[in-house]
Every structure is written in structure tokens, then in C-alpha cells.
Amino acid sequence: MQGEGEQAILDIVEGRAQERVLRCRRLDNLDDLPMPAWDYFIHQPYNWGGDWFPGTPVFTMNTSRGCPFHCTFCSVGSIWGRKYNCFSAEHIVADTDYLMQHYGARGIYFREDNFTIHRERTE
Ligand code: SF4
């Protein structure tokens, strides 16, 4: 798959996907996406911890997508194109508060290619 997967997964599950490689359009505003269905996932037997962090549960967040740079060894551009987009800092803080209040989140694993590219947002 190339691009963002929110529409792709619907196309796959609902039987509309025809190609082996799905190419999805990039979203303009990630803040418009709904929150993951944590009420469902929290009861699944995933590893909610990490060897690198003492507490549980640890939630994974992917708060930015893509990269504007062109490092020749890197595959990020072939998946995402050159567009970089991200959730706003306010959105991330609100999601973090929600996970702490509803599920007792002890840690957040920011798993992405360019968490620090936008310094103001990161701070
Ligand atoms: S994600 Fe990192 S390695 Fe890949 S193109 Fe961007 S800056 Fe380079």
C-alpha cells in the first residue's frame, strides 16, 4: 500500500480493493480522523508494554506521516510521496489525556519517521 491506510482498510474489508498494491490519496488534515477504537483493542491480547519502559499499558501513536527530504537510501518517499503531514500538538495532547483517563496509560510510544521535524509542535 502507498499513502494513508484509513480508506484502504475499508476498501479491503468491504471488498472494493481490486489491485494488489493500493495507492491512497494523502489526507490534508489528520486531525479530522476519528480516534482508534481503543474500547475494542484494549481487550485484545496485544503486548501493551515494552522492554524499554517499566509501566503498562503503553499506547502507540503515529502522529506524523511522510518526509520532505530525499535521502537516497530511504523508502519513506516511495510509501508516502514527499508530503509530510501531522496531527496537531493540541490533538495529540487531548488523545494522550484521554488514554490516561480512560485506560490508565502509563506510556506513549511515538512510532514514526519524523517526530521531531517540526520543533515547535514537538515542544
Ligand atoms: S525519513 Fe529520514 S532517512 Fe528517510 S528521507 Fe526522511 S530524513 Fe531521510
Distance CA(85)–CA(87), nearest Å, equals 7
pLDDT of residue 51: 83
Distance CA(58)–CA(78), nearest Å, equals 30
Q: Please, which pLDDT band fits residue 85 given cuts at 50, 70 and 90? A: very high
Cβ contact 52:104 at 8 Å: no
What is the pTM assigned to this prediction? 0.86
Mutational test site, ligand 1, from 75, 114, 117, max ligand atoms within 8 Å of CB: 114
pLDDT of residue 91: 97
**pLDDT greater than 90 at residue 82:** no
CB of 46 within 6 A of ligand 1: the answer is no
pLDDT of residue 40: 94
